[in-house]
Structure formats: C-alpha cells, structure tokens
Amino acid sequence: IVHTSFFFLSFFLSLLPYSYVLLFFVVQSLQMSESESGFVGKYEGQDFSDEVEDEEPQTSEESETKKIIFQVDAFVKEQDEMKKLLQSLESAEEEEFLKNCATLKTIIGKYSEQPQLLEPFLFDLVHPLVRHLRVHPPVFVRINAASDVLYILSIVCGPKSIVKVFPHEVCDLEPALQLWKCESEEISWQTRYTLLIWMSMLVMIPFDISSIESAKLLFKEDVIQECIHMLHNTTKVQEGAAFLLSRILTRPDMVKVHLPSFFEFCCREMSRDDVGASESDDPSTSRRIIIGCLQTLANIFKIGVREELQPFVEIIASQIFALARNTKCTTTRKYCVKVIQRIGMVYLKPRVAKWRYQRGARSLLDTLRKSKGEIRTNVKQDGQDAQSADAKLMSGNGSKDRRDHMKDGNGDHDDDADDEDYEIPDELEDVIDVLLLGLCDRNTIVRWSAAKGIGRITMRLPKELATDVVSTVLDLFKPSQGDHAWHGGCLALAELARRGLFLPDRLEVAVPIVIKALEYDVPRGAHSVGSHVRDAACYVCWSFARAYAPVVMQPYVDDLGRALLILSSLDREVNCRRAAAAAFQENVGRQGTFPHGIEIITAADYYTLSNRKRSYLEIAPFVGKFETYRAHFIDHLVHVKLCHWDSTIRELAAKSLAEFTDVDAGSIFDEIVPELLESALDTDLLVRHGAVLGLSEVLGRGLPSSQQDDEKAITKAAELRKSLALLVPRIDQARLYRGKGGELMRAAVSRYILSLSRSGIKLPRKLKMTGVFGPRPVVMNPLKVHQDTLDENLKHPKEEISQSAVEAFEEFSKAYYPEWSETFNKEVLSVYIDGLEKDDNPGLRRGFTLALGALPKYLLVPRLEEIVACLLLSMRIEKEKSKRDAETRRNGARSIIRVVRSVGVKCGEGETEVTMTKDQISRIFDGLIGGMNDYSTDRRGDVGSWVRMASMQSLEELTSILAETQYRLSQSDIVLMMANVCRQMADKIDRVREAAGITLERLLRNAINLSSFPLLEAAVKKLDEKPIDWSVPTMSFHFLVHLLDVNEFRTEVLEGLIVAMGGITEHVAQAALFAWKKYSTKHSDSLESALALTGSLMDICKRRRGVNRVVIPLFRCSETLLSSSLISKIRPPEHSFANDFIDFVRKEMIVTKSVMKLLEGVNTFCVLMSFGGAVQKDAIIQLLLLLNHQYPKVRRTASEQLYTMMLALEEGIVDDDLLDDVLIVLSETRWDGDDTDEIISQQNLIFSLLKIEKPTRNEYNASAEDSADGSNSQTLHGDESSYGDLVKEMGY
C-alpha cells in the first residue's frame, strides 16, 4: 500500500507543471472576461496598449472566416528552410549560428506585408529560439542573436501573437528573472525586450509569488523599481517594461501592495512643469518617463479588474485631463487619449448595448461550401425567391420588412427600462469631451485612437446618450470645420457603424455627408489637403457595407456607387483610388445591388488602379460605357478635375473627357463644349487652362457628323464652329497670356490650334467681333491672330511651349496655307528667315529653326535654297561666345533632315518635280558631320552632346533616304560618317554611346554596303546573335576595340578610347582600360598593329594640338598606352615615335596655362623616361625646366616626380655621388616657395650636377612659335600676374 501510494504521488507530481499550465489558462480566461479585454489585438504589429474588440461579439461570418484562415495551409515558401536552420542552431558553431540567425531574420522580414502566413508556424519558430535563452551559464552572443530573431518576429507578427506561444512553465520564471537581472553590457536591448515580453507571460502564474521561493527572493530585489527605471528608455524596451509592469501590478497579490504607490508615482511625474515641451525639443528624461507611465496606465486599465481600479480613477483622471490639455507631444497625446478611454470604460459597467443594430447571421463559408450540384438544384428556386423579395420591396409591400431592418438591433425595446436604471457618472462627460476633441487633433494617430475610444464607450452607453454622441460626431462635418475634424469624424463614423451603433435611421443624414467627404479636396497654395479625408470616407463606406443589410442600403446604392467609382478612377492619390476600389468591391459583394458591379471590379482591380494614367484613360472610360455612371463622370471631369490645382490632373482629365466622346459625342458637343468655351475666358487661371485643354482634346477627336435636316440644329452647329474658330482671338483680346499663368495658357492654346487645324474648321479672313471688355466691335483677321499667337509661342524660351507650337504650326500650315502665296511669303517665311539670320534672341532662333522644318513641301520649294542655307548656318558654332546656343544647333540638325524628307531627293532621270540637289545634299552632309564634332560646353555641362546625337540620327536618316534613290554617298563620305559614329560610341555619356550604337547598327543593316568592310560584316552577324546594350560601357567598349583593326576607322576609334580612358567618369574609364588591355595583350606580338596604332596616335596629336578635351586625357592615360605590351616595343632609334611624341608633349606644355594639363604632362614626361637614350635625356630636361615654372604647384609636383624617377634610373647614367647630391637638392629645396632667386639657383645647380646644358629663353621661344597657337612661353619664371589662373582652376 505504501509503495502504491508513493507511485501515485510521484505520478501526480510529474503532472503538476501541466496542471499549472491548465490552471493558468483558466485564470487568464476569467481575468480577461472580468476586465473585458484580451491579449490578441485586432491590428497585429502594434504596441501592447492597442485595444481588443472583444466587446462586440463576433458575427457568424467573422468566426467562419477566421476558421477558414486556420483551416487552409499557409503558403510559406521557406518553411522547410526555416526548419533546417532552427534545427542546425543546436549544434552550430558561433559563426554559423550568427549566419543562420541572420538568414532567419531575412526570411521573416519578407512576410511583413502578410504576417498571417506565419501564424501557423509561430510555435515551431519561437520554441527553438527560446531554448538558447534558457542555457546556463548564458552565452550572450547566442542569446543576443536568438533574441534579435524573436524581436524581428514580434515586429512582423505583433508582440501579442508572439507572447501567446512563448513557453510559460513555472520553472522558466527563475532563469528568465536571473538573465533579466544580469547587468552585463553584452546584453543587447533586443534581448532585454524579448525577456520582458516573455516574463509578462511568466508572471501570470496562478499562485501567490510568495509560494515560489526563488521568485520571491528575486521580486524582493526591486523588480518593480527596475521596470520603472526602464520606462525612461527610448527603445522598444520601454514598451516591454510597461507591459510587464502592468502584468505584475494587476496580479491579485500585488494590487493592494504596489498599485497605489505606482499611481502616486505616475501622478507625481505627470504634474511636473516640463512635461508639455514640444515634440521638436530634445527628448528630455521627464517626457520619456511620462510616455512610459502612460503606456503602463493604458495596459493597467485594460487588463485590470474594474472594481480594483475604481478607487484610483478620479486621481488619475484629473492628472490625465490636465496633461492632455497642456502637452504638445504627439505621442503623449496619443497615450493620454488611450488612458482616458480606458478610464471611461472603468466608469461604465461591462455590457453590450442591446439597442445596437445587428445585420443578423450571414456566412460566406456556407456559400463556399455549397457544391455545384446544390447550386444548380437551388438556383431556380433561389432566383424566384430573390425576384419575389425584390418585387415586394420595390412595390411598397416590403415596407414592413424595411421597417423591421430600420429598427434597433433586436427589434425589441425592452431594454429601455434597463437604460433608465443604468447610472452614468458625471465624470464620463469629461471623458467623452476629451475624445471628441481628440477627433480634431492635428495628428492622425491621435484621431484614430480617439475614434476607437468613441466606439468602445458608446457601446456601453444607453441609447439616449449614445444618440447624443452620434449627433456630436455628425456636427464635425460642418463647412467651417477643418480637414482634421472631417478626418476624425469619418473614422468615428466608421467605428460606430462597424459596431452597429450607428442606427439605420441616421443613414439619410450620414450618406450625403460621406459623399461630400469622398469629394473633399481643399486647395492650399501650391497643393491641397483632403486625401486623408477621402481615404477615411472610403473606410466609412466599407463599414456601411459590412454593417447593414441590402434592404437598408438600397436607397443609397446609386449615390455611393457613383461617388466611389469616381474616386477609384479619377482621384489624384493612389491610396485613395485603391481604398475606394476596395470599398466598392466590399459593397458589391455584401450588398449585391450595385449596377454592373462585377464587371467593374473585374476591370478596376488593385494593380490597374495603381497607374494614374491608366485609371484616367482606361478605367474611367470603361465605367462611362454604363449609362448609370456616364453623366456623373463627365460632370465630375468638367467641373472638378478640369479645374484641379495640379496641371497634370487637368491634362489627364482633358484626355479622359475626350475618351467619352466615343460613347456620348452628342451630349458633349451640345452641352459640355459651349460651357467650356465660356470657361476658357474665366478670370481664374485653373478654370480657363483646364477648359482650353478640354476643348483641345475633345476637338482633336473630330466634330460629330451632323445628319439632321433640322434647320435649328444646323444653325446651332454653325454657331458652335464659329465660336470654336474665334476662341484664340478672344483669348488674345482678353490678354490672358500675361501674368503668372501665361506659360500654361500658351502651351494649352498651341494644343488647341493643333486640334482646330485637324478639325477642318475654316477661319474667316476678316471678322467683326465684339470686344471682351465692352460692346465696341473690333475688326480682326482670325488667321493672322492665330499665326501671331504661334509666332509668339515659337519664340518662348521654355522648350515645352516652343515644341507644342511647332507641332501646332505643322498642322496649321497645311490646313490654312493650302498653297504658296505672297502673303505667306511676306508675313511668315520671310519673318522666320530674317529672324534666324539677324536676331540674337536664342528663344526665337530655336523656335523658328524648328518651324522651318515643319513646313510642307509646297511651301518650302519656292525658297528652298535660302531655307537650306539658313538651317546650315544655324548648325554652326558662332564665333561670339555670347551668341552660342546649343539648342539652336540641335534644332537645326533636326529640321534640316525634315526638310530633306519633305522635299525629297531625285529618284530618276526623267523627273521634273523639284527636289534636293546634289550640292545641297553634299552641304547638308558636311554640316551634319560638323555637328558630330560639336564638343562645346557651358555651365550646364557637355551641351554639344545634344548636337552630336541629333546629327547622328539625322545622318542615319539621310543615308536611309538616299539609299532609296539614285544618289549615293561616295566611299570617302561613308568612311568619314562611320568613323565619326564609331568615335561617339566611346563617349563618356551613356545616352550618347547608346545613340551611336543604335545608329551604327541601323547603318550596317540598312544603308551601307558591307562588301568593303569584311570585319563589319562579321560584326553584324555577332550583333544578330547577341544584341548589345550600348549604354553599358563594358559591352560597348568590348565591341569597339575590335574596330581598331579597321584601317579607315582606327584613328577615330583610338581617339574615342583615349578620351574615355583618360576621362573622369570612373565606370567608363575602367571599362575602356579593361578593353584596351585585353586588345593590346591579344596583339602584343604584332609589330604591324603596333606601328599602325602609333601612327594613328601621332595623327591624333597633330589634329588635336591645343585641344584640352583630347590632350589632357591623352596625358592622363599615357602610362597605360606607352607601357602596354603592344606599344612599348616601338622604341628608338629604330622608330621615331617616342621622339615625335615627346616633342608634341613639350610643345603642349610650353604654351598652356591649364594647371591640369601641366600636372598630367609632368607624369607623361616621367613615363617617357622609360624609353631611354635621347628621349630620356629630353624628358629630364623638361622636368628640370618645370622646376622654375610660374605655378608653385607645378614646381613642387615636378620636383617630387623627378626625385622618384632619379631613384629608378639605371646604373651608369648618372654618377652615384652626383646622384646623391641631386636628390639632396631636390628634397631639401622648397620648390613651392616665394624665393625666386633660390629656386633659380637650385635649378641651375641641378643642371650643372647632371652635366646638362640649360636651354636658353630664345630656344624655348622658338619652340613656342612652332606650336599650334604661338603663345608666349610660360615655362621660364617671369611675370606672375597669371597666378590667379592657378588659384581659380585648382579651387584654392
């Protein structure tokens, strides 16, 4: 019997921990029921103080949906990988452990947008990681890594979800406390946070703390004080400490002992004078502790027992009310609102309002569970039932059903007696006042918290008081209220409706307010406010859909549907479009009465609406096909979006309006166009600009064909055409181009003239028109007014306006100048030609150049030679720098090819039609080749690149045009063109290389006979096999270096490579260097290739003498070129390349004032010393002469480089003793000093030590005269007046 007794005793003791766990959950459930709160919040990932919506019983649909979530297997792609990583942590070394934890963090972070996918795996994720927190003695590296993963998991899934799956055995309390109390600096704040949330679960053991000796001892060591100290922390540790502290203080064995003292501490801290500091101030300790105290109070009033908290409510409430009124800190106001709403719920008994509206049982799961057979069987009966119900409702016989739905939730008013007996404390009025003020707070987070508080407290109020609260919320939607009040009101309205507290009889008042909120947009300066209001209004519509039965919402379906669809397709903000689409989809699914709902939500999905242009031009016209919505869409576009503050929206609205002409052209031209004609003369810039844009887009679709014989309709159409023809003269007469919005109006009018020209509306030559500012008639020529308007727009310096005017002028000239006339010659063409030849206005020259290229052939031919000469002149670089304009040269290159395309080239011998002559084609070709050599720069950078790109593209098009005719370019012209294109393929600018590569491909495939270039023929085959992205330097240079083997292209290709290798664009230089090294290594054994390259290099030196754009990069990359295995073998005396090259460098150094070139030239002389012999001696002489240069930086650099090279000289060239003396002089002399005499004497000393005769001034002056520019020598130290050049160039 004794043995049996001991056996059963041991058995029960072994089950004791599990009994603790079971009892713990029972107590926790009772405590949650008592305090009417829960641990799992609605919004995962928020802090612990977020409220649980357990006051509202779950509907059958919501519970069924929750079951679906947990019944369906979550799709976690990395599930197996995470399991393997967690299993490997047990035996992993420290480095592997850290690596695996980092991988886990990366995987978990991917699910931040869909944390519910991780919910089924939380237990398997958390427990293996917590094991490393239990290890004794602690290994802090592993603990920190595991805690970091747990922290990321809590961020993704929310701390409430994580805490539920933490181990909560009694035996875990002691090691967790010990680790938490450890004061080691190795513990990270993520570890402390993880321990805090773990302990918040462990301290809920269902026994008195004093019954556990180890925990009792540790709690005596001021655990509560330690938590209070952590409330000062600025990290997530503060949040964890607040939650742990609230768990401890609300334990039954701690409430009476520690809770009063903590409330006193909180009141003392909140009453300090410095707690109202603004949020922009330095985060003071007092404000941090206030936030920590408020977090703890919010949790205490959330999970505490109501009866135990009631004695302290008044003291805390008075302090919180004062703090909420005085503080400027957003976070403090947020937590004040949270605490205040918790206090209000302590004032009220736990209850769910019986008077609330309940839609009734509804389950999507039941629908999903129906089999197809059942659906087919029941579809006929269901359809008949539905039709009869709808007929009953629409006929009026269903009024009783509607009244039943419009009643309170249960249709029972027996709870009125309970409401009368229900006592409401007076203090609750102050609570509701604070929450209502919170709805108007300037920060969204405060308004959102206040809205939730309004909903929670209203749930416990009697119907009469709740009605007052709802009325006050509706009062927030007054025109005098700001956007904050509207936003807060929408949030509160949605929360009330979601809980069933907004009764259906109020919908008649609420729905018009919600529709106004969906359109809320208040301009403020250069922007507007209201997107947050519209977003919240969509939330209200979403709540209505879920809260009310279809029979209740049926009267408001059309208005809400139109407003939501307009918002979803025409709103400026993507979040509002998506929110409106979600609300509309919810209404279609829940209510089922929205016209064409399924078709619309199929087209207007989440991703389609993310693109604003697609929403305006595809989704809105698609919805407009349905007559139910069409008129409202058109009205909104005309009266709202065409007057929008954002010009982009006005443009999109105009294009969208034009799309509606396909389905309703008659009403648009009969009603909308006349209205827009009046608005086009409005004093408000936004109104008239939008009206002109709308007219231009609608008119661009063409006038509707009138097939009516009604004389009245014909007269009306004629009047409309006349009004459209006179719009531009009216705008001009009203002087609406002046002022701030003149640029907008000019661009819009140009687009209108373009559409007018295409519409076929005729312009009268003379017309009497009543003035805009009075009845006095004015005689004007509408054609000339339109032409003058285009001319002024062409002159505009803004490129967008000038370009739109060119597009309009092209169509205008075809429509209203059908043939050559002296009027056109005198008033238009002569003005353009004279302006290009004589006027210095760059805007005029840019626009007129493009305008000449836009003329049709019959207007070009009579003065073709003058036009070609004028355009060729515009492509040349002006001698005066003040007159140079790259945009004019670029436009000239673009226009000249348009003239060739319009006029054409002679195709046969018997043709009599006027075309371009051979001489003209030759001059155009030469002009475009010149444009490809335009490397001009200004403060904007390499503006010549615009001209080079335009010239390349025009040359390619010219070649294509000539390929279709009998005229052929000579072989020399083809080589010249191809060589210049190849040089552009090595440009430092990516877009230039890309344009050159594309041009080369087109020339090789379409316009050039490749029989003379076998290498190019092979290159074309490679391009067909593997296309090249020419903007990528590595790919373009890999292709380009192979063209060095083509004799005709070698010089230009080598020049491009040199400029690229020596350029300052790093990624281009590296790619060019790599390609050159690969090429030189491949051809290192070919003497022929080396001679050819050195010959091309010297050709470049002769052609580009004095051109710093080429010379400086050449000096910079000289070491790479000359030391390569390909060129280094070309040595004197067998070859004269080195002698010629050093002579070129010497002449460049003599005449230049560029400090950059001088410094790079010093390095080049050092490189040339490696060739030995006379070249080495000449290089030493040049470096010695630079020791006396006028620029101190050049002298110092020359001395340093010469010192280095002297150390590397071969033995026997200079005597060792003399070399030591030379090195001493070079190192000890201050070459960048101001003592000129000492510098000259030390220079002479070095010459004498090296036994080298110093050249005289006359010899170097003779060398300077041989150079390119013949400038005076700058080598010998003389006049120092140009020292400012050095200071300016080096940026000192």
Q: What is the pLDDT of residues 494-546, one digit of tens each?
A: 999 999 999 999 999 999 999 999 999 998 877 889 999 999 999 999 999 99
For residue 377, is pLDDT > 50? no
SS3 941: strand
State the Cα angle at 395 between 389 and 398, rounded to 5°.
Answer: 50
pLDDT score recorded for residue 56: 41
Query: Could you tell me if 392 and 89 are in contact, meaning their C-beta atoms sit under 8 angstroms apart?
Result: no
pLDDT category, 366, cuts 50, 70, 90?
very low
* Rounded Cα gap, residues 324 and 1026, in angstroms: 69
Query: Could you tell me if 1049 and 1043 are in contact, meaning their C-beta atoms sit under 8 angstroms apart?
Result: yes
pLDDT score recorded for residue 650: 95
Packing angle of the helix pair 830-838, 842-853 (nearest 10 deg)? 140
Distances (CA, A) of 84 to 76, 139, 320: 14, 22, 51
Peptide bond into 595 cis (omega under 30): no
Joined together, the tokens standing for residue 119 give 């919910």
366-398 exposure pattern, b = at least 16 Cβ within 10 A, e = fewer: eeeeeeeeeeeeeeeeeeeeeeeeeeebeeeeb
Residues 142-196 have pLDDT tens digits of 889 999 999 999 999 888 888 888 888 877 777 787 787 777 778 888 888 998 8
* Rounded Cα gap, residues 753 and 281, in angstroms: 57
For residue 607, is pLDDT > 80? yes
Joined together, the tokens standing for residue 725 give 């023809």
pLDDT category, 1278, cuts 50, 70, 90?
very low
| Burial of 351 (C-beta count, 10 Å sphere; 0-12/13-18/19+) | middle
DSSP 528: E
Q: What is the mean pLDDT of the chain?
A: 81
Provide CB contacts within 8 A for 518, sequence distance 6+.
Answer: 534, 537, 538, 541, 563, 564, 566, 567, 580
pLDDT category, 708, cuts 50, 70, 90?
low
Joined together, the tokens standing for residue 733 give 């007469």
Q: Which helix (H) or strand (E) holds 770?
A: strand 767-770
Query: Higher pLDDT residue, 825 or 412?
Result: 825
* Rounded Cα gap, residues 345 and 452, in angstroms: 12
Packing angle of the helix pair 1155-1168, 1173-1185 (nearest 10 deg)? 150
Residue type present at position 1261: N
pLDDT score recorded for residue 908: 57
pLDDT category, 873, cuts 50, 70, 90?
very high
Residues 903-929 have pLDDT tens digits of 988 765 555 677 888 899 999 999 999
* Rounded Cα gap, residues 432 and 202, in angstroms: 36
Tell me the H-state helices in 205-284.
Answer: 213-219, 223-230, 236-249, 255-270
Joined together, the tokens standing for residue 1093 give 């390259």
Residue type present at position 500: G
Residue type present at position 1235: D
Q: What percent of the chain has pLDDT over 90?
A: 39
SS3 1234: coil
Half-sphere exposure of 264 (CA within 13 A, CB side): 5
pLDDT score recorded for residue 898: 94
Beta bridge partners of 523: 528
Pairing mode, if any, of strands 527-529 and 522-524?
Answer: antiparallel
Per residue, what are the HEC states of 602-662?
A: HHCCCCHHHCHHHHHHHHHHHHHCCHHHHHHHHHHHHHCHHHCCCHHHHHHHHHHHHHCHH
Residue type present at position 1044: L
Distances (CA, A) of 337 to 203, 309, 320, 400, 652: 28, 18, 9, 43, 43
- Of 831-845, 1020-1034, 1097-1111, the range with the lowest mean pLDDT is 1020-1034
Provide CB contacts within 8 A for 226, sequence distance 6+.
Answer: 181
CA 263 to chain CA centroid, Å, is: 48
Residues 1147-1184 have pLDDT tens digits of 988 888 889 999 999 999 998 888 888 888 888 888 88
* Rounded Cα gap, residues 1044 and 1093, in angstroms: 8
pLDDT category, 46, cuts 50, 70, 90?
very low
- Of 48-57, 256-265, 414-423, 954-963, the range with the lowest mean pLDDT is 48-57
Of the candidates 1122, 1039, 1128, 1107, the one whose C-alpha atom is nearest the C-alpha of residue 1075 is 1039
How long, in residues, is the chain?
1292
- Of 121-130, 206-215, 756-765, 860-869, the range with the lowest mean pLDDT is 206-215
* Rounded Cα gap, residues 456 and 498, in angstroms: 11
pLDDT score recorded for residue 900: 93
SS3 780: strand
Joined together, the tokens standing for residue 23 give 């009892």
For residue 671, is pLDDT > 80? yes
Q: Which helix (H) or strand (E) holds 778?
A: strand 777-780
Half-sphere exposure of 940 (CA within 13 A, CB side): 9
Residues 610-619 have pLDDT tens digits of 899 999 999 9
* Rounded Cα gap, residues 149 and 152, in angstroms: 5
Beta bridge partners of 770: 777
pLDDT category, 456, cuts 50, 70, 90?
very high
Query: Could you tell me if 1059 and 986 are in contact, meaning their C-beta atoms sit under 8 angstroms apart?
Result: yes
Of the candidates 1192, 1193, 1195, 1226, the one whose C-alpha atom is nearest the C-alpha of residue 1209 is 1226
Residue type present at position 997: G
Of the candidates 1104, 1020, 1027, the one whose C-alpha atom is nearest the C-alpha of residue 1058 is 1104
pLDDT score recorded for residue 771: 55
Provide CB contacts within 8 A for 241, sequence distance 6+.
Answer: 196, 227, 228, 230, 231, 233, 292
Joined together, the tokens standing for residue 152 give 């990321």
In angstroms, the first-to-last Cα distance of the chain is: 103
